[in-house]
Structure 1
Amino acid sequence: MNAAPTDRARLAARVARLEAGLLERDTAVRLALLAALAGEHVLLIGPPGTAKSELARRLHRAFDGARYFERLLTRFSTPEELFGPLSLKALEHDRYERLVDGYLPTASIAFLDEVFKANSAILNALLTLLNEREFDNGSTRLHVPLISVVGATNEVPAEEALMAFYDRFLLRVPVAPVSDASFASLLALPAEATADTGAAEPITAGELQRLLAAREQVALPAEVTAALAALRGFAQSQGMAVSDRRWRQLVGLLRSAALAEGRDAVDALDLWLVPYVVAAQPAQIDALHGWFVREVAQAELQEAPWLTHAVEAFEKQLEIELSMPAEGGDDAAGKLALARSIGGASEGGMLRIVSASLEDAMRRRWSPVHVAARLAQLDEVAMRAREPLPALHESLAALEAALAGRVWLPPSLAATLRANRRHTIGLLESLLARLAAVREGFAALPVDEAQPASAPEPIALGA
């Protein structure tokens, strides 16, 4: 779409600049930038030292000419620290005004650390500023150039008085210390964070305005609406209360994501954003993420227990039938022992031939009907196991096509979706290979046409 603020390549370059050197932050980086493009605010939830402030500092450089403001809030913070000192000159004329230049009312991107520790006077002023982009300076209400506020907190507030302010952050993103898998990479990082060299052209104010103006033209297909309705029911079943306003904001975010990638319609994969909007607590995100993977992406990890049990049952039965002695096997076993004792420790060629002949004589012979029945049951199970494979391969190919060119969907999530589908395909193919090997074993059973032509009981395969 022509209204997109930037082409995909340029947007991807900007994302790459944002996350350079920030380990395991692909989700937080994308959500922070997308929130800004959608005119929304993002809350980073996690302990100190997890690069929350560094992400906010980088974010402001993604926008051309954006002014940046940062403060650590405490219960002792004063309004002057955020909104500017009182103007002594204005007081001389009986006007209560602040000198806002260089403070939050003139910032485009702001980072407020420990945001919920501020007092009520600050929080009340912030409510209007975040939601309506306006600030009351004395008798004048100023329109502020705020694009997005990045808030940070160690924990989600529990006080009812803070809920209205908490709700102003559309996206709530947990940020954890790096995992053990990335610990060595963390230690190898340079002492100074990677600077933004300007390799990715910043987004201009005009581009941002065009995106916000054009996103309402992005279609919301019926399948996405149906998925959101199903999500609402799932959220209610999990005890998650979501306001009407947040549902509408979520749709705006989805449209912004599609438009920024050059698409004229939201699609199902855009719903990966849902957990970070709908969850009120970080602990709820996993359930919503599972809903997306299972119900929307249809890429839940599958283990095919019925087929595993069937393969194991066939393998065990083959082992049993191969080890069963022939009728009159005791006599053959005696002859084999005698031949070996005569030959001593070192067997000659003739003795090996005799031993092999006697060992073969000791094996149970089976009727052709018995072998055919085993093979028929195996073939039936193999046919059933092969049935979903073409659809699974098509599904994987469709997923690969849908993931191509995505900017917002985090690479870590894309890798999980691919891996889950490949795991399912690989598991089925591995079990089918084991079935084929078992089939060869049954087909090679010694056959005696004189054996009673009775079919065996089918092997119990379980559920």
Structure 2
Amino acid sequence: MQPLPTPDRLRALIARLEAGLLERSAAVRLALLAALAGEHVLLIGPPGTAKSELARRLHLAFADARYFERLLTRFSVPEELFGPLSLAALEEDRYERLIDGYLPTAGIAFLDEVFKANSAILNALLTLLNEREFDNGVQRLAVPLISVVGATNEVPHEEGLRAFHDRFLVRVPVAPVSDAQFAALLTLTPPASVPTHPLRRDELESLRQAAASVTLPDPVLRALQAARGFAQEQALPVSDRRWRQTVALLRVQATSEGRTSVDEADLWLLPYVLPERPEQVAAWQAWVIDTLMACPSTQRPSLQRAVEAFERQLQIETSADQDDGEAGKLSLARAIARGDDDHAREGATITRLVAERLEERLRPRYSPVHVAARVAQVDELLQRLTDEHRRLEASRAQVHAMLRHRLWWPPELRQAVLQRHDDACVRMSAWVERTRAVREGFAGLPVDEALVAAPPLPIALEA
């Protein structure tokens, strides 16, 4: 068996394929990965979003693979895709086509507006895409097809097109460049068009053979079972064939990264193989990030309410009701200290000292039992927050390590997942610091050793 293409070589290939294609990282990676697995890709989006450019570049990633491209309409005829009839064969009563240079001899093909073709063409394409065979007269020929990239402005709703739509395992929505990248689009310089070290067919075969022995650990099987449950919740039909094709794609992904087993991070591509329509992709992406990647939520209402409840209680206990007469004296002293007249300024120091003494007299006093009880209550919350912060830090480190050398993860997806972990750690750290400040506040409450009191009731935390 030939050596497998190395991850570094594939990474360089991906970099060359996506050079100058703004916001197309996921589409480039998915198209190349699908081709490695022998699957077909459907690009869904409006005209002018680089769908054909992606297909042409994909062709350059494979050595000795011929390229074929056609725009299909309802008026397209089979001769446009499969070649004209052979007149010499007709003279001998044989119905054969001259297929050289047409789809049956292509390695990579791009079919634009693929669902607009008539039924005669679609029926012939079904066998060619699925079986890699073409009926030319009385003989069925094996075709060298690696992958077909189909393009459409919208997914068809007709029931008769479902079988053909299902032949595209990977379905990627593509949108116009965002406002953030618009300036970059206008100033873009076309890159060199030829990728380095294109892949040979024997390397593809070696990769697919190695992928067949990649294992599916129990956590991955459980994750796929959960994905099936989520699909059922969304009333999304997923055929048994599509599940098996998805697993084969996962195995190729793992093999190409030098791994012998699939892991949960490989499942990032589920939103591009299970949903039927582009509007379903966002919900699947959120589910994968939240459920399969175990991204922590930055919103933890119960913990936030607990911190805020202790802060409110500390504020109450440090500003207890004061005696009206003494409070009036304190207000007068403060007013004098803030006065603008010469007399007030001359006596500012004395007045300030008086105010400080009055404040000290008016500060509420608590028993040692009360203070110790409050500190113990805060310590319990602080320990809970500290433990959760350590857990989040460990999870973040694990995810960083897992994704550091991933070949197929789009950079924007990696950044989104890592940012979720970072944000959760930052927020938890802030709550820890706020709780420590509350602890210091309770520990610093004025104590009257002569007071005898029962421990205060625990602070009520809102549900």
Q: Count the aligned residue pairs.
A: 459
Equivalent residue number for residue 37 of structure 2: 38
CA distance in 1, matches of 2:108, 2:345: 86
Which residues in structure 2 correspond to 1:183-198 (within 5 Å)? 183-190=182-189, 193-198=190-195
Give how far 1:347 is off.
4.9
Q: Structure 1's 74 and 336: CA in aligned 2 closer, same or farther, altered over 3 A? A: same
Structure 1 counterpart of 2:239, from 239, 243, 266 = 243
Distance 1:446 1:122, change over 3 A: same
State the 1:74 CA deviation. 0.9
1:219 — aligned with what? 215
Correspondence list, 1:334-353, <5 A: 336=333, 340=337, 343-345=343-345, 347-353=347-353
Q: 1:218 to 1:444 in 2, by over 3 A?
A: same
Q: CA deviation at 1:112?
A: 0.6
CA deviation map 1:134-178 (0-9, x unaligned): 111222222111100000111111111111111110111111222
Name 1:304's counterpart in structure 2: 300
Pairwise CA distance, 1:381 = 0.9
Partner in structure 2 of residue 49 of structure 1:
48
Query: 1:453 — aligned with what?
Result: 453
Preserved contact between residue 325 and residue 363 of structure 1 (Cα < 8 Å): no
1:438 Cα deviation after fit: 1.9
**Secondary structure of 2:212's partner?**
helix
Displacement of 1:225 in angstroms is 2.0
The code of the aligned residue for 1:195 comes to A
- Measured after TM superposition, the shift of residue 460 of structure 1 is 1.8
TM-score by length of 1: 0.93
The 2-side partners of 1:92 and 1:352 are apart by: 117
Q: Is this contact kept in 1: 2:83–2:102, CA < 8 A?
A: yes
Aligned partner of 1:144 in structure 2 is 143
Matching residue of 1:295: 291
CA contact (8 A) 2:333 2:352 kept: no
Amino acid at match of 2:326: G
Aligned alpha-carbon RMSD (Å): 2.1
Residue in 1 that maps onto 2:202: 206
Instruction: Please give the per-residue CA displacement for 1:214-243, whole angstroms capped at 9, x wherever unaligned.
Output: 321112223222222232222122211111
State the alpha-carbon separation in 2 of the partners of residues 180 and 338 from structure 1: 56
- TM-score, length-scaled by structure 2: 0.93
The answer to which of 336-345 and 426-435 deviates more is 336-345
State the AA in 2 paired with 1:138.
G
Match of 2:13 in 1: 14
Question: 1:258-317: CA deviations, max 9, x gaps?
Answer: 111111111121111222221122222233323322332111434111111112222222
What percentage of aligned pairs have identical amino acids? 58
Q: Which amino acid aligns with 1:9?
A: D
Of 53-62 and 91-100, the range deviating more from structure 2: 91-100
Separation of aligned partners in 1, 2:86 and 2:310: 87
Alignment-derived partner of residue 333 in structure 1? 330
Distance 1:334 1:411 in 2: 61
CA distance in 2: counterparts of 1:279 and 1:60, whole angstroms: 26
**1:339–1:355 CA contact under 8 A, matched in 2:** no
Structure 1 residues 338 and 83 mapped into 2: Cα distance closer, same or farther (>3 Å)?
A: closer
Tell me by how many angstroms 1:79 deviates. Answer: 1.2
Contact 1:367 1:452 in 2 (8 A): yes
* Conservation of the 8 A alpha-carbon contact between 2:336 and 2:348: no
Asked whether the 8 Å contact 2:40–2:147 carries over to 1, the reply is yes
Secondary structure at 1:69's aligned position in 2? Answer: strand
**Alignment correspondent of 2:357:** 357
The answer for the alignment partner of 1:375 in structure 2 is 375
Unaligned stretches of 5+ residues in structure 1:
none
> Which residue in the other structure is 1:417 paired with?
417
CA distance in 2 between partners of 1:184 and 1:10 (Å): 31
* Residues 73 and 115 in structure 1, CA contact (< 8 A), matched pair in contact too: yes
Would you say the 8 A contact 2:334–2:352 is kept in 1? no
Pairwise CA distance, 1:122: 0.8
Instruction: Work out the CA distance in 2 between the residues paired with 1:417 and 1:334.
Output: 54
C-alpha distance in structure 2 between counterparts of 1:49 and 1:347, whole Å: 79
Q: Distance in 2 between matches of 1:447 and 1:129?
A: 86
Q: Is the 8 A contact 1:333 1:362 kept in 2?
A: no
CA distance in 1, matches of 2:66, 2:332: 96
* Residue type of the alignment partner of 2:254: A
Give the structure 2 partner of residue 432 of structure 1: 432
Tell me the equivalent position of 1:462: 462
Partner letter of residue 13 of structure 1? Answer: A
Distance change >3 Å, CA 450–CA 325, structure 1 → 2: farther
Look up the equivalent residue of 2:293 and give its one-letter code. Answer: A
Distance 1:386 1:337, change over 3 A: closer
- One-letter code of the match for 1:319? Q
Counterpart secondary structure, 1:456: coil
2: distance between equivalents of 1:383 and 1:77? 71
Match of 2:109 in 1: 110
Bigger mean CA deviation after superposition, 213-222 or 365-374: 365-374
Q: Which moved more, 1:305-314 or 1:340-349?
A: 340-349
Please state how far the C-alpha of 1:374 moved relative to its aligned partner.
2.0
Q: Which residue of 2 aligns with 1:320?
A: 316
1:268 alignment partner AA = E
* Cα distance change of structure 1 residues 162 and 385 upon mapping to structure 2, 3 Å threshold: same
What CA distance in whole angstroms lies between the structure 2 residues aligned with 1:26 and 1:334? 66
State the alpha-carbon separation in 2 of the partners of residues 432 and 214 from structure 1. Answer: 49
